[in-house]
């Protein structure tokens, strides 16, 4: 991902925070993480996030999804004696289509990103509107997508170890690689 693309996504995410009144410090604004997953299509499969705290007991983040943007299917595996991350998503803005393991009730409202259909395998749909939340147990495959206005989700979880996340798509690189312009 190019540095200019990262800066543009950070600016866009900061504008969404401003829109709904989530205040960020100047340092948080300049350090908004842009996860493009190494797929080269941030608008389709990507995520922007601010980590407030992540220690050996708990983690708190804000996740930004642009309209139709998808965080690809993944799970949080056990790491050492830790059973894996438990995370609660609380929708703050927009609509979030969350898919977890379990029975598929039929059609889904999200659109699986074109060309990546083989890497999306769970379709038990949970729709989150502002004020609603859902807790994902450790080791549970999941993915999520923003509705037409985008979405902001507060994540409260046990310790986050993003570098150990297991993605269904073997082409994904979770840790960003930034190329200078």
Q: For the segment 112-153, what is each residue's pLDDT rounded down to a tens digit? A: 999 999 999 999 999 999 999 999 999 999 999 999 999 999
d(CA 85, CA 158): 5
Q: What is the pLDDT of residue 67?
A: 98
Q: What is the pLDDT of residue 145?
A: 98
**Tokens matching residue 76:** 């949080």
Q: Each residue of 71-127: pLDDT tens digit? A: 999 999 999 999 999 999 999 999 999 999 999 878 999 999 999 999 999 999 999
pTM for the structure as a whole = 0.95
Q: What is the pLDDT of residue 165?
A: 95
d(CA 48, CA 71): 10
Q: Domain-by-domain residue ranges, the chain? A: 3-167
- Of 162 and 176, more confident: 162
**Which H helix or E strand runs over 15?**
helix 3-20
DSSP state letter for 133: E
d(CA 154, CA 149): 17
- 3-class DSSP state for residue 42? coil
Assign a CATH topology to domain 3-167: Jelly Rolls (2.60.120)
Any idea which residue has 């797929």 for tokens? 39
Q: How confident is the model at residue 179 (pLDDT cuts 50, 70, 90)?
A: confident
Q: What is the mean pLDDT of residues 3-30?
A: 96
Q: What is the pLDDT of residue 106?
A: 84
Any idea which residue has 């004696």 for tokens? 81
Q: What is the pLDDT of residue 178?
A: 77
Q: What is the mean pLDDT of residues 60-71?
A: 98
Q: What is the pLDDT of residue 105?
A: 78
Q: How confident is the model at residue 4 (pLDDT cuts 50, 70, 90)?
A: very high
Does position 177 have pLDDT exceeding 90, yes or no? Answer: no
Q: What is the mean pLDDT of the chain?
A: 95
Q: What is the pLDDT of residue 81?
A: 93
Q: What is the mean pLDDT of residues 28-42?
A: 95
Q: What is the mean pLDDT of residues 11-29?
A: 97
């Amino acid at each position: 991902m190019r540095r200019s693309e990262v800066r543009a996504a950070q600016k866009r995410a900061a504008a969404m925070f401003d829109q709904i009144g989530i205040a960020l410090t100047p340092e948080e604004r300049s350090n908004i993480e842009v996860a493009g997953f190494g797929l080269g299509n941030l608008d389709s499969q990507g995520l922007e996030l601010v980590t407030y705290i992540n220690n050996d007991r708990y983690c708190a983040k804000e996740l930004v999804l642009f309209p139709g943007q998808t965080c690809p299917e993944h799970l949080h595996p056990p790491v050492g004696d830790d059973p894996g991350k438990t995370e609660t998503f609380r929708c703050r803005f927009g609509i979030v289509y969350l898919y977890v393991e379990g029975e598929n009730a039929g059609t889904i409202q999200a659109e699986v990103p074109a060309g990546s259909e083989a890497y999306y395998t769970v379709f038990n749909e949970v729709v989150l509107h502002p004020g609603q939340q859902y807790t994902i147990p450790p080791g549970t495959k999941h993915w999520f997508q923003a509705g037409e206005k985008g979405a902001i989700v507060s994540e409260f979880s046990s310790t986050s170890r993003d570098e150990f996340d297991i993605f269904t798509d073997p082409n994904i690189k979770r840790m960003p690689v930034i190329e200078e312009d």
